[in-house]
Amino acid sequence: MIEKINQLKAEILALNPTTAEEVENIRINFLSKKGKLTEIFNDFRNVSSEDKKTIGKEINTIKSELQTKLENWKTDLQSTKSSSANDLDLTQQEIDMSFGSRHPVSLIKNELCEIFTRLGFTIEEGPEIEDDWHVFAALNFPDEHPARDMQDTFFIEKHPDVLLRTHTSSIQVRCMEKKQLPIRVICPGRVFRNEAISARAHCIFHQIEGLYIDKNVSFADLQQTLLHFARETFGNDTKIRLRPSYFPFTEPSAEMDISCKLCGGKGCNICKHTGWLEVLGCGMVDPNVLEINGIDSKVYSGYAFGLGLERIAMLKYSVSDLRLYFENDVRFLNQFKNY
């Protein structure tokens, strides 16, 4: 009996299972009904009563030690198993790694910035909180001009000279102040107007305005630049038309329409059956503006234009309601993933 026990002990000591299957086999081999250890327990009946105490203790220790060993092997093999490459679980649900998309206004802004930088324009930015000088006075707005009216402009209550810019032309004034001529800049940014929010208007929107001042800048230069912009943005078959208009800072002034890309110029609901869509304001920089900003209008001339990014994005992506841009509904935003 003692011999059998010692042999068993040695056998257990030599065990070194490497798979879960082997661990299970050891359990069966030693602890099942016909297992080696169970056999010894059966033999125990025949042990003389004076040996029963020591031998009983001995085989009980062997049993509990083996049980702990089996447990330890099991957990050890499990932890190495889960980090092994063979454990790849192809049924596991994928983690959502989808990327967000750029906002349509940012997409258009980036696209227009690229188009104009390819033409040699540089990008300038400026403050959203401005003063009367940079938004109005330096741009030849007469004191009584309706655009200064409280209805259009958000003024800061206690400082009538401090206001939220209503257009990014204020950045152009800041460029003229630096007087590094020639100037060829585009000014993207957020602007604010005290307007009732509707499908076609919002009190916050985004603009890009352009300014080119050099010797001999002509209206033909403006027209060609805008035609290029229209074709690059809306497709090569896009036509433009300029209608006379008025802005305090340009003379002559014009508004530019593009041929309606939805109906191809035949007339539809979007273009109100005219075949044309209004996209921007433009003109030759008024000599008064050049003089106010210390630029000699006898030597220099320039053109300027300004457009609303939401409007361009609406036309390009066929968005029917301006408010969608500000709601940040992912169902709307997700539609711009492939642009």
Residue 276 vs 303, nearer CB to ligand PHE = 303
Among 167, 174, 184, 202, binds ligand PHE (CB under 6 A): 167
Among 247, 276, 300, 336, binds ligand PHE (CB under 6 A): 247
- Tell me, letter by letter, the H, E, C secondary structure of the chain: CHHHHHHHHHHHHCCCCCCHHHHHHHHHHHHCCCCHHHHHHHHHHHCCHHHHHHHHHHHHHHHHHHHHHHHHHHHHHHHHHHCCHHHCCCCCCCCCCCCCCCCHHHHHHHHHHHHHHHCCCEECCCCCEEEHHHHCHHHCCCCCCHHHCCCCCCEECCEEEEEECCCCHHHHHHHHHHCCCCEEEEEEEEEECCCCCCCCCCCEEEEEEEEEEECCCCHHHHHHHHHHHHHHHHCCCCCEEEEEEEECCEEEEEEEEEECCCCCCCCCCCCCCCCEEEEEEEEEECHHHHHHCCCCCCCCEEEEEEEEHHHHHHHHHCCCCCCHHHHCCHHHHHHHCCC
Q: Is 234 in the site for ligand PHE (CB under 6 A)?
A: no
Name which of 130, 116, 200 is nearest 168 in CA terms.
130
Q: Is 302 in the site for ligand PHE (CB under 6 A)?
A: no
Query: How are beta strands 183-192 and 122-123 bridged, if at all?
Result: parallel
Residue 40 vs 314, nearer CB to ligand PHE = 314
Q: Is 121 in the site for ligand PHE (CB under 6 A)?
A: no
Least distance CB 306 / ligand PHE (angstroms):
3
Q: Is 30 in the site for ligand PHE (CB under 6 A)?
A: no
Least distance CB 201 / ligand PHE (angstroms):
13
Among 135, 282, 290, 315, binds ligand PHE (CB under 6 A): 282
Residue 171 contacts residue 210 (beta carbons within 8 Å): no
Q: Which stretch binds ligand PHE (CB under 6 A): 104-112, 177-185, 288-296, 298-306?
A: 298-306
Among 40, 112, 164, 304, binds ligand PHE (CB under 6 A): 304
Among 26, 109, 165, 169, binds ligand PHE (CB under 6 A): 169
Among 185, 306, 313, 325, binds ligand PHE (CB under 6 A): 306
Q: Which stretch binds ligand PHE (CB under 6 A): 69-77, 266-274, 303-311, 328-336?
A: 303-311
Least distance CB 282 / ligand PHE (angstroms):
5
For ligand PHE, the nearest residue by Cβ is 306
Q: Which stretch binds ligand PHE (CB under 6 A): 10-18, 86-94, 95-103, 280-288?
A: 280-288
Q: Which stretch binds ligand PHE (CB under 6 A): 108-116, 177-185, 290-298, 300-308?
A: 300-308
How many residues bind ligand PHE (CB under 6 A)? The answer is 11
Least distance CB 176 / ligand PHE (angstroms):
13
Task: Kindly write out the interface string for residues 178-217 of this chain, putting x where it contacts ligand PHE by CB under 6 A and - elsewhere.
Answer: -------------------------------x--------
Neighbours of 47 (CB within 10 A): 17
Name which of 219, 117, 204 is nearest 167 in CA terms.
204
Residue keyed to tokens 């909180």:
129
Applying CB under 6 A, the residues found at the interface with ligand PHE are 167, 169, 209, 247, 250, 281-283, 304-306
